[in-house]
Structure 1
Amino acid sequence: MEKTNTIITIGREFGSAGREIGYKVAKDFGIKLYDKEMLGRAAKESGICEELFEAHDEKPTNSFLYSLVMDTYSLGYSGGNYTDMPINHKVFLAQFDAIKKIADEGPCILVGRCADYALEEYDNVLSVFIHAKMEARIRRIARIYDLTDAKAKDLIQKTDKKRSSYYNYYTNKRWSDAESYDICLDSSVLGIEGTAEAIKQLVAIKENGGDRKL
């Protein structure tokens, strides 16, 4: 089993097999993958019921400006003491705290939920975005959910729109933009195994110091 000291965050287009790729990398490194588990952890530590985390999971909200959220966060509303904030902000910040606590426990893989943004101060993070050609994603989603191609495409577009809006709302970056991540990989070109292998190679390069001349 290979070893790593790196935390890997994975952003992903719906149908790009991002979570499956993450599980392969996690298995090879012998580390944990957190997907929906982040919600349970945040609920437990904040005392907010888990159903609320599920209800707000990677779904956008347009009621308050992003800057308002982060101003409140920087003023020290952490550790479960979110007082009079709107519930969607409480949920996001509790998740933000949980992601940091998970990261502090050691190497792991965190899927979605703005984990790359939550951990941007950490040196030992590799942020990855996995995308794929629409035809490949339609085939995968149609097969998994037993949908027609048209319904699969509709579900993909709606899910990506939610993930994009959520990420763009809560972070100062743009979802799926290359400059928002350390690396973007096309799983429809590399395949599931190939994308997992590429991530492992990138971790090895990062841990060896990359090109120190930069």
Structure 2
Amino acid sequence: MKYDWIITVGREFCTGGADAAKELAKRLNYRYLDKVLVDETAEVMEVSKEMVEKNDETPEGYLDIPPHWYMDEDDPTVLLTDAARVVNAQTDVIMKYAKERNCVIVGRCADYILRDEPHLLRVFFYADFNERVKIAMKRYGLTDSKARRLIRKTDKQRATYYNRNTRKRQWGHPASYDLYLNLVDLGIDGAIDAIMERIDLEERIHGHQNGEKEQQ
């Protein structure tokens, strides 16, 4: 690889997306950023890890909250919900890691937060709903009906959080990402191979464009 990449990973619930992201980071020797974002956000905010976890990727959190929404000029954070405070602090943590590059970031609207970064690859993992039900039943020991409810609830929460924060983008829609991969069909190794192929393609295109500029 010629460049230092930032790879963001969105995922439907119970696709195994976090496991795939972790394996991708391991293969690339990149930082894997998921729960560590919770830990560092709690440290920055000087609050408990439990408080951040409770408000992590919840629909009540908003990015770029307009100043005129605040009611207290002396302390503009006083009326922010806990979820909004978490998402704002977490954004700073994500941007800090982005400056260092070479990282795989799971969820948390990182693809939108870092939308102006060069060499950013936005990946989304999905899978057939019934396959995800089987995974949820096995992983959490749930009945079929409870697994279905949990998946729908979690997907809805992630979609609401993403759609509100990214304005015109739609969570889980292929147009919002560079790669849209069925993780159950491909498997982790197949998905990682697809990601590596896309990176190789992007680097060859970028190199070709640079060569044309030099010739002009």
Give me the TM-score of the superposition, normalised by structure 1. 0.84
Q: Report the counterpart of residue 120 of structure 2 in structure 1.
A: 125
Contact 1:15–1:140 (CA under 8 A) maintained in structure 2:
yes
Q: Report the counterpart of residue 77 of structure 2 in structure 1.
A: 83
Q: How many residues align?
A: 201
Q: Distance in 2 between matches of 1:108 and 1:82?
A: 32
Query: How do residues 156-167 of structure 1 correspond to structure 2 at under 5 angstroms?
Result: 156-167=151-162
Q: Distance in 1 between matches of 2:34 and 2:166?
A: 19
Tell whether 2:34 aligns with 1:40.
no
Contact 1:25–1:200 (CA under 8 A) maintained in structure 2:
no
In the TM superposition, residue 37 of structure 1 has moved relative to its aligned partner by 1.1
Q: Which of 147, 150, 154 pairs up with 1:155? A: 150
Q: Secondary structure at the match of 1:142?
A: helix
Q: Distance in 2 between matches of 1:207 and 1:180?
A: 21
Taking a change above 3 Å as real, the CA distance of residues 171 and 48 of structure 1, as seen in their structure-2 partners, is farther
Contact 2:58–2:83 (CA under 8 A) maintained in structure 1:
no
Gaps of 5+ in 2: 69-74
2:177 maps to amino acid: Y
In the TM superposition, residue 85 of structure 1 has moved relative to its aligned partner by 4.5
Structure ID, larger Rg: 2
Contact 1:3–1:30 (CA under 8 A) maintained in structure 2:
no
Q: Report the counterpart of residue 19 of structure 2 in structure 1.
A: 20
Q: Report the counterpart of residue 171 of structure 1 in structure 2.
A: 166
Q: Distance in 2 between matches of 1:202 and 1:82?
A: 43
Contact 1:82–1:90 (CA under 8 A) maintained in structure 2:
no
In the TM superposition, residue 163 of structure 1 has moved relative to its aligned partner by 0.6
Kindly report the root-mean-square deviation, in angstroms, between the aligned alpha carbons of the 2 structures: 2.4
Q: Residues 158-181 of structure 1: CA distance to partner in whole angstroms, max 9, x if unpaired?
A: 110111111112222211111211
